[in-house]
Amino acid sequence: MSTLTFQGAVKEVTGSRYLIEVDGNGRSWKLLLECGLHQGGVDADRANEVPFGKLVGELEAVVLSHGHLDHSGLLPKLVREGYRGPIHCTRGTRDLLEIMLQDAAFVMAKDIEWENKWRKRNAKPLLEPLYEIDDVEQTLSQCVSHPYGQPVHLPGGVTLVFRDAGHILGSAIVELTIPSGGQQKRLVFSGDLGNPSSVLMKEPEKVFDADLVLMESTYGDRDHRPLEETIEEFASVLEEAHADGGNVLIPAFAVGRTQEILYHLSVLYHQGRLRQQLVFLDSPMAIKVTELYHRARKALDPEDLKVLNKASSGDTAQYLPVLRMTRTVEESMAINRIRGGAIIIAGAGMCNGGRIVHHFRYNLEASATRLVIVGFQAGGTIGRQIVDGAERIRVLGQDLAVKARVHTIGGFSAHAGQSQLIGWAGAFRNHPRFFLVHGEPETQKVLQAALAESDIEAQIPGYGDRIEL
């Protein structure tokens, strides 16, 4: 019998990893589905440091649903430890990996450099990075990209097909047909399913046949607000900030969310509803991803592109004329001289580092500031502390009072909400087995109960659980 072992993103949102062992003809083949980074706190750092061990030499192939680091961020570590096999993904994912993994290696190197200065002064053992830029380059060289809908033959008689997940550029639902016990079993992994209401991406494809389904459950306990209401709330926050004379801080998720926020700012601008005359995109990675989205616009939703073209008369330079892209550290530092009237979109999305924390130093203690949270904040992150109501936070060695008004706007989420997850799950025929992954425990229990009301039985696996296909 072929088996699947849950090695990550179980009872947590990050760290996606699933080991598939294909049994046939007296030998077995090992495939890795996802190779994600754990995010959020000391425990996550420790989990990321655990060596892959002998698995490196046993793997035949890696399959990747999309480019977000919680699904792909440990690939260079796997390669650094010796893996030289193929990494199967879509073309959009391959292009995003080049940006995201290079950025991750750069940030890691800087963090290690600062930490090791302290350790050297205090006679502590020095740290090694999980991986370096050379490991990223080697990883990219091993990527093999495929279009949606094309069958790909993998070792052990496995067949892979990618379907559009509608989440970010290149995101995929993964279909694997796997020999097991003399039969062909179909495993479907949802990856991260997109929110049909969000802009730029196409709707997630429905899949109808499976024996076993791994389904994400990030927002399984709730639905997102309707997009129209979300945009009105966003516009209201911007108007209030302008009236109070404060800046607006938006922690940037570089892939997907930033591009969606820029889309809505563009529409508001051309409607005459954007009072701020300075919008800064202060994230080198988000800038590169935004440029990639522009180059890859044929893969985006044509109806949403029509709206942008109509708003700006087809001139891409006029999508958002008040936008300033700040690539250098000096340009970023200069923003802090602006005390009001600006919108600052800066990395990182969960506020655990990046340029957003520098802007916190100059803006978070001002009551006129608006902090707009537009994405999921994992447990253990500074963003989660703020969302949970922390009155003080510590960044860059400094305690800051949270006096800014905090607005959590969930309707911009690029993830499916509860109703959409149930609708996607309900399209399957013949009642496949469901396993909920990528969700916090309480959220998963709520979704599990909601699925049961639709006659869909779902299990919540634990780390290390091994099931037969």
Ordered by start, the domain boundaries in the chain are: 3-222+414-468, 227-412
**Residues near 223 by beta carbon (within 8 Å), at least 6 away in sequence:** 417, 418, 419, 420
pLDDT in tens, the chain (469 residues): 999 999 999 999 999 999 999 997 778 999 999 999 998 777 888 999 999 999 999 999 999 999 999 999 999 999 999 999 999 999 999 999 999 999 999 988 988 998 899 899 999 999 999 999 999 999 999 999 999 999 999 999 999 999 999 999 999 999 999 999 899 999 999 999 999 988 999 999 999 999 999 999 999 999 999 999 999 999 999 999 999 999 999 998 899 999 999 999 999 999 999 999 999 999 999 999 999 999 999 999 999 998 888 766 666 567 899 999 999 999 999 999 999 999 999 988 999 888 999 999 999 999 999 999 998 888 888 999 999 999 999 998 899 999 999 999 988 888 999 999 999 999 999 999 999 999 999 999 999 999 999 999 999 999 999 999 9
Bridge partners, 175 (sequence order): 161, 188
Superfamily of domain 3-222+414-468: Ribonuclease Z/Hydroxyacylglutathione hydrolase-like (3.60.15.10)
CA distance 116 to 22: 43
Strand order in the sheet with 342-346: 323-325, 278-282, 342-346, 248-251, 370-373, 405-408
- For 17, 39, 88, 198, 466, the CA distances from 463, given in Å and listed in that order, are 10, 16, 24, 32, 9
CA distance 40 to 257: 19
- For 116, 228, 263, 277, 301, the CA distances from 308, given in Å and listed in that order, are 47, 17, 7, 19, 11
CA distance 277 to 343: 9
Residue ranges in 317-468 assigned as alpha helix (H): 329-335, 356-363, 382-387, 418-425, 441-453
- What CATH fold (topology level) applies to the domain 227-412? Rossmann fold (3.40.50)
CA atoms within 13 A on the CB side of 52: 23
In the block, tokens 């495993």 appear at: 187
CA distance 293 to 282: 17
**Residues near 23 by beta carbon (within 8 Å), at least 6 away in sequence:** 1, 2, 3, 179, 180, 181
pLDDT at 345: 97
Specify the amino acid at residue 128: E
